[in-house]
Amino acid sequence: MVRRKSYLLAIICFLLALVVVSACAPNPRLQLISPNMVVLAEGETFVPPTPTPRPRIAGLSDEEILAGLPQNIVALIPGDAERGLDLTVPHNCIGCHVTDNSLVDVAPTWLEIADTAVGRAEQLGLAGPALYLYTSIINPNDYIVDGYTSDVMPETYSEDLSEQDLADLLTYLLSQRAE
């Protein structure tokens, strides 16, 4: 009888311990800072991962693509995509960005960046993908892509790039889309 009692007691203690331990375990769904554990400074907005199914720029009209972009830049689009690509060398964009899925630990890929920009603009409530790309170049710390930190991309492009440079770069980036 005594033996049975202590056996029962042991089981109860074990179950109690189980309840206590599971109550103390951290809830993996709870987000403490941001999903990528980056503390954002004032004025920075976290860009969440691209949703599935992936949005495509091919379904948008020119007006929808260019919505919200400053008129002086819109007036120069379409620019020269080839010149835009050439500019990525002296301005060192390609030192960080690549057009495939290698090296994505340095900076977000430019593989199908036009399609990516459609999703980012939607998530951020921006007028269109061109405006997202434009802002990402001249004010890189306005939107921080999931998995990356601010203050990596140079903040000097708004001074270094002319309106024509920006229009050509945007024309190049907007051409990087899924077939």
Binding residues vs ligand HEC (CB under 6 A): 88, 91-93, 95-97, 107-108, 116, 120, 133, 136-137, 140, 143-145, 148, 152-154, 157, 169
| Nearest distance from C-beta of residue 30 to ligand HEC, angstroms | 25
DSSP assignment letter at 109: -
Q: How far apart are CA 112 and CA 175, in angstroms?
A: 8
For ligand HEC, give the closer residue by CB, 74 or 148.
148
For ligand HEC, give the closer residue by CB, 22 or 108.
108
| Nearest distance from C-beta of residue 152 to ligand HEC, angstroms | 4
In sequence order, what are the beta bridge partners of 46? 144
Longest distance between any two alpha carbons in the chain, whole Å: 93
Cβ contact 128:87 at 8 Å: no
Which residue type is seen at 173? L
Cis peptide before 108 (omega within 30 of 0): no
In sequence order, what are the beta bridge partners of 89? none
Picking from 57, 35, 53, the residue whose alpha carbon sits closest to that of residue 121 is 57
| Nearest distance from C-beta of residue 147 to ligand HEC, angstroms | 8
| Nearest distance from C-beta of residue 48 to ligand HEC, angstroms | 11
| Nearest distance from C-beta of residue 148 to ligand HEC, angstroms | 4
For ligand HEC, give the closer residue by CB, 35 or 154.
154
Q: Residue with CB nearest ligand HEC?
A: 93
For ligand HEC, give the closer residue by CB, 64 or 112.
112
